[in-house]
Every structure is written in C-alpha cells, then in structure tokens.
Amino acid sequence: MNDGRSRASGFTLVEVLVALGILAIVMTVLYGTFSTSSVTARVVEERADELSSLTGALDTLTHEVRGALEQFSGTKSGMTFTALTPFHQDDVPVVQKVSYEFDEGRLLRKTFQIDGDDKPVRTFLLLEEVTNPAFSFFDGQGWVDTWQTPGTLPAGVKVTFSYKRREVETVIPVWAR
C-alpha cells in the first residue's frame, strides 16, 4: 500500500560529513608518509653523490700511488711523483708526473710534463669541503711527514682527512717499490 509518501534514497548529511572526515584523516596520513619518503629520498641521493665523489677521488689516488715509478717527494699537504696513470691514450696507459695537493679545503690532482717545468699542464678538482688533511709516508719502520729521499719510494702512503662530516683514512701500498 502506498500512503502518498515516497522514500527517497541517498545519504544523509551526517553520513556525508562522517565520510569526508574519514577521507580527510586518510589523506593527512598519506601526505605525511609521502612527504617523509620524499625528504628521505633526497637525503639518500645527496649521501650517494657524496660517497660517489669520495670513492672516485680515492680510487684515482690509490691507482696512481700504487703505480708510482720514480721521482717521489711528499709533505703533509701534498705529494708529487711519476706514475703509470689509469688514463689511457690509444689503449696504452700513460706515464705522467702527477701531484696530489690539499689546498684551501680542496683535494687537487695536477699533471705535469715529464721533462718540463713545474707548471701544471692540467689541474683537476677531486674533492671540496676537505678539512684536517694530511699525507704521511711509510719508510719501512714508521710513518714520516715528509718524503724527500731521491731515487726511493715509500713503502706506503697514508691519506687522512675529513669530508662532509666523515673521517677518512686510507693506507696505500706502493707496489713498484
């Protein structure tokens, strides 16, 4: 029987407001999660870039120190030597006179003419924001701050410094010795 009133279907105002409240809470939680993930991803990417720069610089330095051939001299702030470098020319490794120097918060790699003057041919910036840098050299009995012994190579080179809140220390054996 129909008494003249029709039953309207739909949601009441209270139901709509409750649904909107629940939606707002869920969206707030999702926004917080994605925001935190975004910040974390940015930090991870920055750290990966820092470690990549550090690894690349130490790999080049290590390879050249291990291949040191002659004319080695060094102080706490830098070292110069002739080495078989990791860089190739016509698929043949290049023998170069190179130096590594800590200068005003930077680690620099310089190349020189083998029989030329002491003016660098090229200078490469390996790292910035370097603090507390030092090279030291192993003479077979202990570590010394300078190496000025003509015709001899140290048994090893120790490199220490701070780089973007990280303490770095590596010991590199000199193989050609």
pLDDT tens digits, one per residue of 123-149:
999 999 999 999 999 998 999 999 988
Tokens of 72: 């080695």
What CA dihedral angle connects 88, 94, 99 and 105, to 10 degrees?
Answer: 0
pLDDT tens digits, one per residue of 113-124:
877 677 888 899
pTM over 0.75: no
Beta strand segments in the chain, E: 68-74, 78-89, 92-103, 106-112, 122-128, 130-138, 143-144, 156-163, 166-173
Task: Please give the average pLDDT of every successive group of 10 residues along the chain, which has 177 residues.
Answer: 65 89 90 81 81 90 88 93 73 80 94 80 92 94 92 93 92 82
